[in-house]
Chains A and B, each alone.
Chain A
Amino acid sequence: MNKIELRGLDLTCYQEVLSNGLHVFMIPFDKVNAKYASLTTSFNSTIVEFVPEGKNKYRKVPSGIAHFLEHQMFSQSHRQNPMEFYSEHSCDCNAYTSKKKTSYVFSGTTFFEEGLNFLLDYVQDPMITEETVQKEKGIITEELKMYEDKPYSRLYDQICLNTFHSLPFRYPIGGRVEDVEKTTHDEIMDCYYTFYHPSNMFLVITGNINPEEVIEIIKKNQEAKQLPKLKQSPRVKKYKEPVTVYKDFEKIKMDVTVPKICLGIKVDVSEFNDQERDKISYYLNFAFWVNFGATSDFKEEMIKEGIITHSMSYSKERVEDFFFINCVADTFRYEELLKRAVEKLEHLTITEEELERMKRVVISDCIFESDDMYGMNQKIMMEYLQYGKIVEDRLSMIRNLNQKEFYEYMKRLNLKHRSVVVIEPIKKG
């Protein structure tokens, strides 16, 4: 087993690749009682066209299918239902689909071996039928409607749709109701056989565990199964995505009391390598925190002028060769806010002192996070998906960030490709 010390965090990550291709990562936390395991495939909501296992032509599938498949994994008429199994074994179980991955998780303080074996068994051998697919449609439709009634969720879905032209990232994770309606059993099975093979999955386990014992449990489980080797590694359709946004402005009406605005910024980073993108990721965060966040003049001025009451929220995602930034605020005067924010975007600054303070914040956050076995599990998943490996010494990388480099990178980034979505109250009476 490979051992990686996560420097500065008092944690060790154990790593092994099994003969069937399954990657395993484990981080023991001696001082907690619980254990948490996640089994993840990189199959996600943005994969909607691929060459199915055993075939040679691309197949298009309805959007939302990754999420549909996740729901179907809980159909297990030939064995106990996962909800029932974990509940009987005093554990919690769940599953998540995102634009990066699909994960199946369970946690608990006891029956870990049973739980882990069951996780591998139910994900590697589900019982999906025409009937289970039909039955799930009503449930998923209600789930989608629930999100449609949430203003911030609508805002996010719309900004994704309007920022990107062709990347399926633009569609909501669960797809649209009409996509769910037309999803077939055959399409779901193609997704399953192509992306749920052990060589396309990985297991992350954190908590009160002994890695030597746990790896034996996993090996025994996997060696007992005769899963066919994949004939080919999955081929996913590539898209040409322009650097511009698809639509630069849109207004939606909803039953809200305070209008909401989302400013999406599409930043092309195709010219930078992975290491550079990592640094840019931090510098962009710093730039937005310092210039728009809780410590900024901008926030203070906007509040003083009565335009906003809280600072704009900021988030950033990596989408292929882009960083996709979202700034969200609720305000009755969105036009003014937008005008001022755009002016500010032209002059993003950072002082030496601010940069050092930001470094202190992110280093501290890494330590806070290292105390949380759920957070660390998630972090390992995201790192593996992003880099194909675990970052050993993140803290040193952060310590080396500096003001000169900040300005060099910021000069090379174009923050002018922007899209705006506004939610306005429906007219009353």
Chain B
Amino acid sequence: MKYYDYDLLPFKIHVIQTNRFKTVSVQINFYRKLTEEEITKRNILCSLLASTTKKYPKERYMSMKRQELYAADFGCSSIANINESVLRFQSEFLNEKYTEKGMMKETLDFFLSMIMEPNVTDGRFDEEQFHLVKKRMKKRILESQENNRYIAKRRLIETMCSDTPLAFFPLGNLELLEQLSNEEIYQYYLDILQKDSIDIYVCGDVNPEEIKQYFLENLKIKTTKKPFSFESILMNDIRKRSRTIIEKKFAQQSNLVIGFKIEELTPFERDYVAPIFSQILGGSSNSKLFRIIREKHSLCYSIYSAIYGFEHIMLIEAGIDAKNFKKTLEYTKKIFKEMEKGKFEESDVNNYIKLYYHSLDEIYDSPNSMMNFYGSHIRRHTDMIDERKENIQKVTKEMVMKLAKKIHLDTIYLLEGDVNHE
């Protein structure tokens, strides 16, 4: 496996050359700083570009073409990622060895046409498609309210992190969605081509020079970008006393989310100590939360914790019966306190270090995990696999206890399931 990086000024190309896969995977990422009003615009644009092109102006023609390209997979997603907004075009297709000669070029041509040859006439996207995309987005926003776990998590984050970009609703704003005009979206499209930073990742058994040449000739974006750097989100206002919010909804089950704020982490704490802390607390079916709250007290089916290191927050989520709310909360607080006091085994720390170490080898097993891992190294300067293997072994029990002191309970949110609630 080899990495090749080319800085071609308007964009950068990163090739992970490997013969591990029968497929070739490509990601083209457009980045800029995340703002609340742009989320809606970017989401509309993303759906528009992925749905039709000038040459294939109907969705069914697009789908037929995909099928002809040996069931190649194409997509675009608009991701609100900490302080950056990413428009990600991605494709995975079979290596020519398994199809026919020339298919790689044909597939990449089609892929790029989604970005470079939109279904636009006289400065407007196809009107029918524009309305359809808006309608779909509206439905998606409405339907997000059917997922109780999602609702609970969003409400908690909106409350706890109200002054940060984490509070922006990632599916967009309904009012803005109605207002945005076709022309505005087209202008926004031109703006993106001109101003967004662009990173391209390719993973597979390919010739890096050929890839570079291909994009130079075919991705006709010429403007040089001001570098835009990625930043963590810091939590100010650490509360002395936590707050509790309870809302009701028609449902069988109640969803509990407990939010913690974390003081600023060093990169070492973030990438090495925090994952070990989280594993011990609630990261797996062998965690303290799982063993005590589920296995010992039978209070829930699922309970887990996750630390979001760049965001400096930790969430504990559980699906419970409303009558068990107080008990679950009590045990959770107690278990959390034990982490601070060091009431866990040295051997737990060592086992999770081993798990972390060996899981790193699995990153090589899928093109997506390779690209995402390498992408994080490029964008966020996180360590590569070998460095990580070395660093993770330095984590000690004392470090985990010290980290616990940086984590502070902030907000408790219960979406109470009530079958009589309308």
Contact = CB atoms under 8 A, between A and B. Distances in A.
B300 A139 contact: yes
Interface in A333-369: 357-358, 360-361, 364-365, 367-368
Contacts of B301: 139-140, 142-143, 146
Interface string A296-311: 1101100110100110
Interface core residue of B63, B67, B99, B321 (most chain A CB under 10 Å): B67
A167 to B, nearest CB: 26
A82 to B, nearest CB: 9
Interface in B135-171: 135-136, 139, 142-143, 145-148
Given A361-B67, A426-B250, A370 B286 contact: no
Contact of B362 (A10, A34, A300): A34
Which are the 9 A-B pairs with shortest beta-carbon distances?
A138-B298, A364-B71, A294-B63, A87-B286, A143-B301, A255-B250, A90-B358, A142-B301, A145-B252
A93 B361 CA distance: 17
A309 B132 contact: yes
Contact of B142 (A146, A258, A373): A258
Contacts of B355: 87, 90
Nearest to B147: A150
Nearest to B421: A255
B8 interface: no
B251 interface: yes
Interface stretch (B18-26, B111-119, B219-227): B18-26
13 contacts: A83-B285, A83-B286, A84-B286, A90-B351, A109-B358, A142-B321, A145-B252, A149-B148, A149-B417, A297-B60, A361-B67, A368-B71, A370-B22
Nearest to A331: B139
B178 interface: no
Given A139-B294, A295-B64, 4 more contacts: A90-B357, A293-B63, A364-B71, A367-B94
Contacts of A142: 253, 299-302, 319-321
B361 A146 contact: no
Contact of A87 (B320, B351, B362): B351
Given A83-B286, A88-B351, A300 B60 contact: yes
A33 interface: yes
Nearest to B144: A257
Nearest to A177: B252
How many chain B residues sit at the interface, stated as a range, is 35 or more
A275 B167 CA distance: 56
A32 interface: yes
Contacts of A149: 148, 251-253, 417
Contacts of B351: 87-88, 90
A404 interface: no
Contact of A90 (B128, B253, B359): B359
B308 interface: no
Interface in B287-336: 290, 294, 298-302, 319-321
Nearest to B355: A90
Q: Which of A83, A140, A254, A427 has the most CB of B within 10 A?
A: A83
B252 A295 contact: no
B205 to A, nearest CB: 11
Contacts of B300: 139, 142
A109 B63 CA distance: 38
A330 B284 contact: no
B249 interface: yes
B58 interface: yes
B64 A368 contact: no
B422 interface: yes
A31 interface: yes
Contacts of A145: 252-253, 319, 321, 417
A428 interface: yes
Contacts of A303: 59, 132
Interface string B335-354: 00000000000000001101
A81 B19 CA distance: 39
Contacts of A88: 351, 354
Interface string B81-116: 000000000001010001100000000000000000
B268 interface: no
Nearest to A255: B250
Interface in A270-316: 293-297, 299-300, 303-304, 306, 309-310
Contacts of B252: 145, 148-149
A255 B68 contact: no
A34 to B, nearest CB: 5
A308 B10 CA distance: 40
B359 A109 contact: yes
A63 to B, nearest CB: 18
A232 interface: no
B130 interface: no
B362 A357 contact: no
Contacts of A429: 422
B183 interface: no
Contacts of B417: 145, 149
A109 B300 CA distance: 31
A145 B318 CA distance: 13
A365 B70 CA distance: 8
Interface string A137-164: 1111011011011110000000000000
Contacts of B321: 142, 145
Given A296-B60, A427-B422, A360 B139 contact: no
Interface in A1-59: 10, 31-34
A426 B253 contact: no
A304 B250 CA distance: 34
Which of B94, B99, B365 has the most A CB atoms < 10 Å from its CB?
B365
A258 B139 contact: yes
